[in-house]
């Protein structure tokens, strides 16, 4: 069985006062096209372990190192900034 490749897209965030409380993400398994929307608390977003647990609950397998997870998040937010700049 091949390992699924997951892509992440930031759809937005919710705020409480001036602080971002959570991020809404769209996660797509490029192997079969399955897409889920999840809400991830800000404090758990940076943790690869937390993301693995959240996605496992959605029947999506996510196995990356903390370094790779940080790179994935960086690329996701870079894309979001580019999209916002175009609007």
DSSP readout, 10-76?
EEEEEEETTEEEEEEEEEEETTTTEEEEEEEEHHHHT-HHHHHHHHHTTT------HHHHHHHHHHH
Q: pLDDT tens across 11-65, in order?
A: 999 999 999 999 999 999 998 999 999 999 999 999 999 999 999 999 999 999 9
Domain boundaries, the chain: 6-74
pTM here? 0.84
């Amino acid at each position: 069985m091949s390992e699924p490749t997951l892509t992440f897209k930031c759809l937005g965030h919710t705020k409480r006062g001036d602080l971002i409380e959570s991020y809404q993400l769209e996660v797509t398994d490029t192997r079969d096209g399955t897409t889920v929307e999840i809400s991830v608390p800000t404090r758990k977003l940076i943790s690869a372990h937390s993301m693995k647990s959240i996605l496992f609950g959605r029947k999506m397998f996510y196995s990356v190192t903390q370094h790779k997870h940080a790179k994935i998040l960086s690329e996701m937010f870079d894309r979001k900034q580019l999209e916002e700049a175009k609007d």
